[in-house]
Amino acid sequence: MSRPDAPDPAVVDVDKLWSIFRDGGRDLVIHQDLDLSVAPGEMLSIVGGSGSGKTVLLRQILGLQKPARGSVRVLGQPASELGSEGAASRIGMLFQHGALFSAFTVLENIAFALRELGTLPRDLIREAAMAKLQMVGLDPAQANKMPAELSGGMIKRVALARALILDPPLLLLDEPTAGLDPGSSDSFCQLLRALHQELGLTVVMVTHDLDTLFELSTRVAVVADKRIVVSGTPTQVMTHSHPFVQAFFLGARGRRASSLLPSSGQTV
């Protein structure tokens, strides 16, 4: 372990993972011998078709789903044995369709996991939540707002502050910029990049957004055929021959290129 040339232990270590759901009388195999290792400080983007099992993979890492076979370890411990408290202090999660608690204020949403722990007095919890509010670039004046009063970008920021309230070393993001307009999406990416650097976070992110992917990823892993078919830097992965990879990168690039053509553009 202490050898100078020894690699850092993985933050996430998925080994020969099988994820299976029962569908009526049949087994639905989502992952089959899927291997994935994430080193400290990486910002890994997971891409794959709809229904390829990206969210299920994040749920496995969170310990919400149990491997049918194989193992998922987070910081050396089986993910399914972390328990909800252990998971919250090690892993922050921004869910794909995750909404805030609509009956709670912004600050109460952010403070939620800390209050659940029941170890700190109210004023310290409030202070910690205010610090997180500012960390995600929101004004203290937003603290007492209700979620219904917030823009989409602000909701994402509050959800991020809530995910980071216990200072977890690992952050999981499921489509963090989906549904945001380009401006909000760019500024959310900048925030994620800054937090990744400043907090030394390890980040595993699912995204289908090429701009987000190129902006943030230190590595990309492609889920297809029930496993990771290729992983590497964005430019390495782009040239892989798998049909999904070709369609994803070249299709989207083609669409973007065509949007620059004068005939299809809007006048500005």
Ligand X SMILES: Nc1ncnc2c1ncn2[C@@H]1O[C@H](COP(=O)(O)OP(=O)(O)OP(=O)(O)O)[C@@H](O)[C@H]1O
For residue 176, state whether it binds ligand X (rule: CB under 6 A): no
CB closer to ligand X out of 14 and 107: 14
For residue 66, state whether it binds ligand X (rule: CB under 6 A): no
31-70 binders of Mg ion (CB under 5 A): 55
Q: Rounded CA gap, 173 and 200, in Å?
A: 16
User: Considering the complex, what minimum distance in angstroms separates the CB of residue 34 from ligand X?
Assistant: 12
Q: Tell me if 189 sits within 8 A of 109, measured CB to CB.
A: no
User: Considering the complex, what minimum distance in angstroms separates the CB of residue 48 from ligand X?
Assistant: 5
Distances in Å between the alpha carbon of 152 and those of 69, 90, 172? 38, 26, 19
Q: Rounded CA gap, 230 and 248, in Å?
A: 13
CB closer to Mg ion out of 96 and 190: 96
Residue 114, C-beta contacts closer than 8 angstroms, at least 6 positions apart: 120, 125, 128, 129, 165, 166
- DSSP SS3 for 77: strand
- Site stretch for Mg ion (CB under 5 A), options 78-86, 89-97, 111-119, 197-205: 89-97
CB closer to ligand X out of 91 and 129: 91
Pairing of strands 202-206, 91-94: unpaired
User: Considering the complex, what minimum distance in angstroms separates the CB of residue 79 from ligand X?
Assistant: 16
List the alpha helices (DSSP H) in the chain.
54-62, 83-90, 106-117, 122-135, 152-163, 182-199, 210-216, 234-238, 243-245, 252-259
- Torsion on CA atoms 166, 169, 172, 177, rounded to nearest 10: 80
Pick from 189, 214, 226, 173: which is nearest to 48 by CA? 226
Task: Choose from ligand X, Mg ion, none: what does 80 bind? Cβ within 5-8 Å by kind.
Answer: none
- Site stretch for ligand X (CB under 6 A), options 32-40, 50-58, 73-81, 180-188: 50-58
Which of 51, 121, 243, 262 binds ligand X (CB under 6 A)? It is 51
Per-residue x/- marks for ligand X, 5-44, CB under 6 A?
A: ----------------x------x-x--------------
How many other CB atoms are there within 10 angstroms of residue 27's CB atom? 12
For residue 19, state whether it binds Mg ion (rule: CB under 5 A): no
Per-residue x/- marks for ligand X, 88-117, CB under 6 A?
A: --------x---------------------
- DSSP SS3 for 29: strand
Which of 54, 73, 157, 196 binds ligand X (CB under 6 A)? It is 54
Q: Which two tokens stand for residue 63?
A: 């310990």
CB closer to ligand X out of 25 and 51: 51
For residue 263, state whether it binds ligand X (rule: CB under 6 A): no
Residues that bind ligand X (CB under 6 A): 21, 28, 30, 48, 50-56, 96
Residues that bind Mg ion (CB under 5 A): 55, 96
